[in-house]
Structure 1
Amino acid sequence: MKGEFPHWLIGNNTKLYTLYLPSCSLLGPLHLPIHSHVYLSDLDISENSFYSPIPTEIGVQFPNLYFLNLSGNGLIGDIPSSFGKMSQLMKLYLSNNRLSAIIPQDLIVGCISLFDLILSNNNLQGQIFPKQANCKELDRLLLDGNQFTGSIPYSILNCTLLNMLDVSDNHLFGSIPGWIRNMTFLQVLDLSENNFSGTLPSSFVPPQIREVYLSNNRLQGPLTNAFYNCSELMTLDLSHNYFTRRIPDWIGKFPKLSYLLLGYNNLVGEIPIQLCNLGQLSLVDLSNNNLSGHVLPCITAASNKVRQEEVGTNPYMASSPAYMKQPLEFTTKSISYYFRGSILKYISGLDLSCNNLTGKIPAEIGNLSMIQVLNLSHNSLTGLIPQSFSNLKQIESLDLSYNKLNGKIPQLTQLNWLAVFSVAHNNLSGKTPEMVAQFATFDNSSYEGNPFLCGPPLSKSCFSSSIMPRVSEEDKKDHKRDGGFMDMDAFYVSFLISYAIVLLTMAAILYINPYWRRAWFYMIELSLTNLYYFLVDNIPFWFRCY
């Protein structure tokens, strides 16, 4: 459907209740009928191309609207204050336009029935919420992707039923207020990509909170008891800040936690063993910190079980499609992606890169048959690559580069989904994996920095006379258990038994068959005679006996 908005359709049909014209090709200025229309309750003209201001008297012309969707139209100008005339308005969607100026106070005060207010991705400025607010029915407030400044106003607390607050990707600053804990119905809080600073208040979120996004701010200090007692927490994203000290032990008291992102901070200490109590974990990002100690064998043991069940049994995710739509940044295949919505139910990953972790890679990690991303690069891990990694059947990105791993690369050519693979800059030796299947796509960069590796795609041939590195006795024992070294004791025993069997077989044959026995002794006599004359004819004369 092309052309201008058919305002005559509304004007000529005075008893029209509902008009849906989304995702058409309507363009030009948005004209409304001259006379008010008291019956129209639902109007959806989203995803068109009006590129004009919203008519200033829209609230007078449609006084009884319940639902209005003008998102995705490229609308410009201010939000008309006449919206305050729509006392019955419950859902107002103005996202993905080019609206500017401030949120009119008449909208917040007059629309007493407002349930959803979605103004995302515009050019709105000023304070995110007027000082006077009468929004006791408001459930979702989405103001992300604008140019708002200042701090979080106390007037938001008047929205006593607020369930979701998203003010991400703005220019807000100051400290995060502790009175947020008084918003007893709040379940989703997104303050990411702003300029918030200072430390987190103790227990600043209500106990029933489910999702918290504070990434890409300037928050600092220890986490202390900021999220203590939040037993319903499913998502905690604190990445790209300046948090310090250890990861608190109370992290293990969130039985529903599925997404834990603490990367790009200044956290220290060991990975808390309490993470092993989290049976719903599917994404863990602790990268780019100063963590030390060993990789926990159990850190994502429960994650494998969740992936096999496709995370489809979580009643919160299944019954509340409005949630889990906030983006989560996670690095896979060497690129940072934003994942949101239902795709999060089908991704599993562990990123411990860029820390100070030591010790061996636990063989138990190879039991995560459903994991898709594993990044242990830029640490000080030693020992062998576990043979159990061949069980990572769903792995798409495996990065073990920049460690101190040694020994041979195990047989991984059956990992058919592997798109990114790197063991570069270690102390690995032996032949590279065979260039078949996915491994035929990996170039020299996947193996570089290992002077004792050979074979394609490296230029170094495995038939050269290079001295191979010595492998410690402890690594030999580990590799023997993985099938990487030959058991020499068993080899010697089997060789002696085989030799004895051959001799006994020959003796039995010669004893049974006299013809072969005579031929055998004749051959021996002839050989000895020939040897005698050969020596007589060829040894030097001064050794001859006369």
Structure 2
Amino acid sequence: MLTGYKDRLQVDAQYPKWINLSFQFKALILSDLSLSSIPQFLFYQQKLRVIDLSHNKLKEKFPIWLLQNNSNLKFMNLRNNSFVGQLYLPSYAIGNMVWLDLSNNHFTGKLLEDFGDKLLGLQYLNLSQNQFEGTLPSSLGKIRDLVNLDLAFNFFLGEVPNELLVGCSKLEHLRLSHNRFNGQFFSSEFNLSSLFQLELNNNEFTGSLLNVNLETLNILDVSNNYLRGPIPAWANKVSWLISMRNNSFEGQFPCQQPMSASLLFMDLSHNFLFGPLPSCIDFTNIVDIHLEGNKFTGLLQDFLPNSSSCLSVLNLRDNSLSGVIPNLIGTFLNLKLLLLGKNHLKGSIPKTLCLLKNISIMDLSSNSLSGTIPSCFQNLTFGVMEKHNETLEQDQLQIMNEFIDENHIYGDLIKKNLDLVIDIEAIGLNEIYLVDKNRGRSYKGSILNFMSALDMSCNDLTGEIPQELEKFTQIRALNLSHNHFTGSIPVTLSKLSKIESLDLCCNNLSGNIPPELTNLNFLEVFNVSYNNLSGQIPKKGQFSTFEESSYEGNQFLSELPLEKGCTTNIETPHFESLASDATKGKWYEVDLPAFHACFFPAYVVFFLLIVSLLYINPHWLKRPLHFILNINYLLNLALFNILSR
């Protein structure tokens, strides 16, 4: 047995002298050693049961000889290398192989039709993050003991073979996400009743979920497909993660019984769901709730609990919710993202929102909120989270797996390779939509950790913009446009040192634009159009790059910038300088020495060409002479007729 992790063991590509080539290893783990080629001494090994070359820099074809030389090989891990080419297997069945991980490489081509026939004993197969293509072979359905199948992030296409969905009844983890699969996955013959984890997201699957019952699921992700119909009753029994984002599900969410208390993540956004918000959600452990882009109605206070210590993301944008923002939201002390924009909310902004010390993105836009911005908003930091909250974040889930070995010799040795770490960000969850820098965009994954924004646009807010907003030193985007704010633009906004987008348009602001704002070095978008501003526009720094549209609608502002594309006074000097450099005079002046040098040789060549042609065939000379005589005769005849009159 030989092991080496993270450069604790140095291995030469040439076989080391201290290795006796007659010595046979049973387990060899050379993981994370920056190997650039497979060590030569492996060619002489014939009794290997465990081989782990993962997390290296190996760039060659699949080492089929390892399988041919070691008939007892059970565990093979080559993940996170740079293996290339098509995956070829020996011509015979490999009966002892239980665990095969080739993920995160550069394998290409189709899987062989007899792929499943040669690996009938597999329990774990991971081919994810490669470049495999084509349809799946139906022989995969013959691997009856398969427990984990991961084909995510490839270019597979077509329908999933029915043999797989019927024959692999022991499957617990199935990942087909980020491919090009289509057709109906949940057929009437679907027989995967033991599934723990099912990820089908980012494909082109159709049909509904009514034909199956998957109450055993802890993880379900069918987002970004073409699924339709009602959400089945078993969906509210999913224990950890449920994502149905961006499909065509319709109707009300089934709430015949409470959802699981262990649910961490829920995303039903961008469907056609209606009725009241799901009242059966258990807020005990849930971290993220995304219900954006549906037709939910009702009052927020009927949906939210009295408090929640875990909730980090509450996304209810683009629905038809009504009523006021309830005060109890202020009790969700770990809330980082609060998105209530594009609803029918009214009333004032509750001061309890000032208790959300960990908030980084707040969207209250496109409602009917009135009153002023509470001065206690200075207590919010937008992007600077308190340290105590870091321990509460649940970004990963770990699933323990067991390497089945009859003698239990290698289980502890390779245990680190058997734990399936599920990264919430990696499976496409936690995505939000914001209007930022004058255009809408989606933010997802780790980028959300660096984004901070406050959007109160398109409401009926009044009063002055609070001076206390200077406390938002980490904020990236601030949008107060389309309200009824009065007074001047606070000079204190110049302290928003990280801001990239500042939109104050369509209000009743007056006074000048503070020149101190030119100190905002990261500002890319600035809009104060349609106010009552006056005075000069700052010209320093990036303010000289903002277009006229950023200032229009302020009739007392002076020295508006020219629109980009107006070239009347810019291009003329440019062309003059080009003419001066090229000719040192007028454009039509001719360089006489150059003209003579080109003209006279050309004239001589043309003359000699004519003489040569006439010398070769003298009869050609008669034709032009005959033509000249005819012309002369016609001219004389015409002259005679004129004189005779």
TM range (shorter): 0.7 to 0.9
Q: RCO greater where, 1 or 2, for CA within 8 Å and sep 6 or more?
A: 1
The counterpart of 1:258, out of the listed 330, 333, 336, is: 336
The two structures have a TM-score, normalised by structure 2, of 0.62
Is 2:362 the counterpart of 1:272? no
**Higher Cα Rg, which structure:** 2
Say which SS state the counterpart of residue 381 (structure 2) adopts: helix
The counterpart of 1:422, out of the listed 498, 523, 527, is: 527
Which residue does 2:493 correspond to in 1?
A: 389
Summarize the Cα distance change of 1:71–1:299 in structure 2 as closer, same or farther, 3 Å threshold.
Answer: same
Is 2:221 the counterpart of 1:143? no
Summarize the Cα distance change of 1:80–1:255 in structure 2 as closer, same or farther, 3 Å threshold.
Answer: farther
Contact 2:477–2:500 (CA<8 Å) still a contact in 1? Answer: yes
Q: CA deviation at 1:315?
A: 4.0
Which residue does 1:431 correspond to in 2?
A: 536
Contact 1:144–1:166 (CA<8 Å) still a contact in 2? Answer: no
Which residue does 1:182 correspond to in 2?
A: 259
Summarize the Cα distance change of 1:98–1:323 in structure 2 as closer, same or farther, 3 Å threshold.
Answer: same
Is 2:399 the counterpart of 1:342? no
**Offset from partner CA, 1:426-446 (integer Å, 9 cap, x none):** 11112222x222223222222
User: 1:324-343 counterparts in 2 under 5 A?
Assistant: 324=425, 325-343=429-447
User: 1:55-66 counterparts in 2 under 5 A?
Assistant: 55=113, 58=116, 61-66=119-124
**Offset from partner CA, 1:9-42 (integer Å, 9 cap, x none):** 5344434422426574745587675413423413
Which residue does 2:545 correspond to in 1?
A: 441
Q: CA deviation at 1:250?
A: 3.1
Summarize the Cα distance change of 1:88–1:74 in structure 2 as closer, same or farther, 3 Å threshold.
Answer: closer
Which residue does 1:366 correspond to in 2?
A: 470
Is 2:399 the counterpart of 1:322? no
Which residue does 1:507 correspond to in 2?
A: none
The counterpart of 2:71, out of the listed 14, 36, 40, is: 14
Q: CA deviation at 1:149?
A: 3.7
Q: CA deviation at 1:8?
A: 5.6
Cα distance in 2 for partners of 1:194, 1:352 equals 25
Contact 1:447–1:458 (CA<8 Å) still a contact in 2? Answer: no
The counterpart of 2:145, out of the listed 87, 92, 96, is: 87
Which residue does 2:193 correspond to in 1?
A: 134
Contact 1:353–1:377 (CA<8 Å) still a contact in 2? Answer: yes
User: 1:523-538 counterparts in 2 under 5 A?
Assistant: none
Which residue does 1:510 correspond to in 2?
A: none
**Offset from partner CA, 1:274-297 (integer Å, 9 cap, x none):** 322222110111222333332233
Q: CA deviation at 1:6?
A: 5.8
Q: CA deviation at 1:359?
A: 2.1
Summarize the Cα distance change of 1:405–1:109 in structure 2 as closer, same or farther, 3 Å threshold.
Answer: farther
Summarize the Cα distance change of 1:311–1:180 in structure 2 as closer, same or farther, 3 Å threshold.
Answer: farther
Is 2:374 the counterpart of 1:287? no
Cα distance in 2 for partners of 1:149, 1:196 equals 17
Contact 1:203–1:227 (CA<8 Å) still a contact in 2? Answer: no
Q: CA deviation at 1:267?
A: 2.9
In the alignment, structure 2 segments of 5+ residues that lack a partner are: 1-57, 219-237, 398-421, 564-645
Contact 2:494–2:517 (CA<8 Å) still a contact in 1? Answer: yes
Report the residue type matching 1:126 in the other structure.
Q
The two structures have a TM-score, normalised by structure 1, of 0.72
Which residue does 1:298 correspond to in 2?
A: 376
Report the residue type matching 1:352 in the other structure.
M
Cα distance in 2 for partners of 1:266, 1:154 equals 37
Which residue does 1:76 correspond to in 2?
A: 134
Summarize the Cα distance change of 1:64–1:123 in structure 2 as closer, same or farther, 3 Å threshold.
Answer: closer
Summarize the Cα distance change of 1:218–1:8 in structure 2 as closer, same or farther, 3 Å threshold.
Answer: farther
Report the residue type matching 1:333 in the other structure.
K
Which residue does 1:399 correspond to in 2?
A: 503
Which residue does 1:542 correspond to in 2?
A: none
Which residue does 1:233 correspond to in 2?
A: 311
Summarize the Cα distance change of 1:193–1:365 in structure 2 as closer, same or farther, 3 Å threshold.
Answer: same
Report the residue type matching 2:508 in the other structure.
K
Which residue does 1:413 correspond to in 2?
A: 518
Summarize the Cα distance change of 1:93–1:52 in structure 2 as closer, same or farther, 3 Å threshold.
Answer: closer
Which residue does 1:516 correspond to in 2?
A: none
Report the residue type matching 2:442 in the other structure.
Y
In the alignment, structure 1 segments of 5+ residues that lack a partner are: 460-546
Cα distance in 2 for partners of 1:145, 1:179 equals 30
Say which SS state the counterpart of residue 122 (structure 2) adopts: coil
Summarize the Cα distance change of 1:74–1:342 in structure 2 as closer, same or farther, 3 Å threshold.
Answer: same
Q: CA deviation at 1:223?
A: 3.6
Larger mean CA deviation between 240-249 and 4-13 belongs to: 4-13
Summarize the Cα distance change of 1:438–1:150 in structure 2 as closer, same or farther, 3 Å threshold.
Answer: same
Say which SS state the counterpart of residue 178 (structure 1) adopts: coil
Summarize the Cα distance change of 1:83–1:349 in structure 2 as closer, same or farther, 3 Å threshold.
Answer: farther
Say which SS state the counterpart of residue 274 (structure 2) adopts: strand
Is 2:114 the counterpart of 1:114? no
The counterpart of 1:123, out of the listed 153, 159, 181, is: 181
Which residue does 1:247 correspond to in 2?
A: 325
Q: CA deviation at 1:187?
A: 0.6
Summarize the Cα distance change of 1:49–1:67 in structure 2 as closer, same or farther, 3 Å threshold.
Answer: closer
Cα distance in 2 for partners of 1:197, 1:183 equals 22
Contact 1:361–1:385 (CA<8 Å) still a contact in 2? Answer: yes
Say which SS state the counterpart of residue 447 (structure 2) adopts: helix
**Identity percentage over the alignment?**
29
The counterpart of 1:216, out of the listed 284, 290, 293, is: 293
Summarize the Cα distance change of 1:308–1:57 in structure 2 as closer, same or farther, 3 Å threshold.
Answer: closer
CA RMSD of aligned residues (A): 3.6
Contact 2:488–2:511 (CA<8 Å) still a contact in 1? Answer: yes
Report the residue type matching 2:561 in the other structure.
P
Say which SS state the counterpart of residue 463 (structure 2) adopts: strand
Contact 1:279–1:303 (CA<8 Å) still a contact in 2? Answer: yes
Summarize the Cα distance change of 1:391–1:444 in structure 2 as closer, same or farther, 3 Å threshold.
Answer: same
Cα distance in 1 for partners of 2:117, 2:373 equals 60
Summarize the Cα distance change of 1:98–1:303 in structure 2 as closer, same or farther, 3 Å threshold.
Answer: farther
Cα distance in 1 for partners of 2:127, 2:378 equals 43
**Offset from partner CA, 1:135-182 (integer Å, 9 cap, x none):** 36x256453444344357772333267422223233333322225843
Report the residue type matching 1:10 in the other structure.
L
